[in-house]
Amino acid sequence: MFEGFTATDVETSGARIHLRRGGHGPPLLLLHGNPLTHVMWHKIARWLPQDYTVVAADLRGYGDSSKPDGGADHAGYSFRAMARDQVEVMQTLGFDRFLVCGHDRGARVAHRMALDYPDLVRKVAFLDIVPTHHVLHHIRKEWAIDSYHWFFMAQPFDYPEQMLVAYGLERYIRRKLDKRGVGMSAFTPEALAEYIRCCTPGNIHAVCEDYRAAVSIDLVHDEADLRRKLDMPVLVLWGERSHVHRSFRPIEAWRERAHDVRGRMLPCGHYPAEQAPNETLAELQTFFAE
């Protein structure tokens, strides 16, 4: 799935990060969402290396990256901690400034990265999210139903962990990816097999810590930065059949948090890079090339 890429691990100050690297040109960091891994980029990764040095990384707790302890306040899985990992990865690889594209949880990591390291992030693209603070302060019934897992997985240890393991991890992955009105056809057998392989009890615990952090320490960080807006250019892409489109106005939401926002809706659900790869690739190439 990643012909021409090299797989490697990078030790950061808080985790061991697994990644694939390929191509030549300006560095571009790709960050996946839940319950995925860096493999989610495989349909567009073959084209991006023609113009960019692509780094597709697993977030801490996901894929083949390590799964450190989250701590009593879940700070080990805050978007700040995950952003620091990826900045250290890029610096270890020799990149002082870079482009970033994130999907779902990876996009939330990218948002925190752009806030904490504005001098390092040249441009940032967010796939199918609105800011975390906006989400949690504009909850509608339909979004709560679509995104029930935000609050289920944030329950105290080890209730959600045990429930999901008992349910069956492969069964969970298939159910999680089978979004309403979209289905599973966009996920190749090879990618789906990787998502299933990487869904382990350790990963499930890390994901729960991720969601626990989102409704606690991440909100503390966001509250401290509510008056700040991103100065770098921002691209927002979202799916016509995703829960984001059903419950939010993405461009308007992001204009509360950034000065230069552009983007559009794509003909897909929550997974643009796999459900609408050609359209996603075209938008990213245009945005990053400007």
- For the annotated catalytic residues, the residue numbers are 104, 270
Packed helices 79-92 and 217-224: angle between N→C axes, nearest 10 degrees? 80
Contact 72, 45 (CB under 8 A): no
Residues contacting residue 227 through CB under 8 Å, at least 6 positions apart: none
CA–CA gap between residue 99 and residue 268 (Å, rounded): 24
3-class secondary-structure state, position 183: coil
The candidate with the shortest Cα–Cα distance to 56, out of 91, 30, 85, 34, is: 30
What burial letters (b/e) apply to 103-112, b meaning 16+ CB within 10 Å? bbbbbbbbbb
Could you tell me where the beta strands, DSSP code E, fall in 66-120? 98-103
CA–CA gap between residue 280 and residue 146 (Å, rounded): 23
CA–CA gap between residue 198 and residue 208 (Å, rounded): 15
